[in-house]
């Protein structure tokens, strides 16, 4: 497992925010899955964005744990 440094983490977050700003990562409309709680349905777009950011991070070679942290940080900065 590789350790992600603070500077590198901030660079990854900034790069992901830039992708979102250029609409290269966008909200996706999908059919709701049966059994998803009301809370999840209310926040479906946010969950999809979190998942997309996490998948991009994993695809870039970060661990699942690092990708969770990166996705959380990006979503926090998006507000």
What pLDDT is attached to residue 1? 41
Domain assignment present for residue 46? The answer is yes
Domain assignment present for residue 26? The answer is no
Is 57 in contact with 16 (CB distance < 8 Å)?
yes
Domain assignment present for residue 28? The answer is no
Residue 13 gets the label, from left (phi > 0), alpha (psi -120 to 50) or beta, of: alpha
* 19: nearest Cα among 48, 56, 44: 56
pTM for this entry: 0.61
Domain assignment present for residue 45? The answer is yes
Domain assignment present for residue 21? The answer is no
Domain assignment present for residue 72? The answer is yes
Query: Residue 49: enclosing H or E segment and its boundaries?
Result: helix 44-59
Domain assignment present for residue 9? The answer is yes
Domain count, the chain: 1
d(CA 17, CA 24): 10
Residues 33-76: tens digit of each pLDDT: 555 566 666 677 888 889 989 998 998 899 999 999 999 999 99
Domain that includes residue 46, residue range: 1-14+40-79
């Amino acid at each position: 497992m590789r350790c992600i440094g603070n500077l590198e983490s901030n660079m990854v977050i900034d790069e992901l925010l830039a992708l979102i700003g250029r609409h290269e990562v966008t909200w996706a409309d999908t059919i709701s899955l049966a059994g998803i709680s009301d809370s999840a349905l209310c926040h479906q777009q946010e969950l999809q964005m979190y998942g997309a950011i996490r998948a991009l991070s994993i695809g870039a070679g970060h661990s699942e744990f690092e990708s969770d942290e990166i996705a959380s940080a990006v979503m926090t900065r998006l507000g």
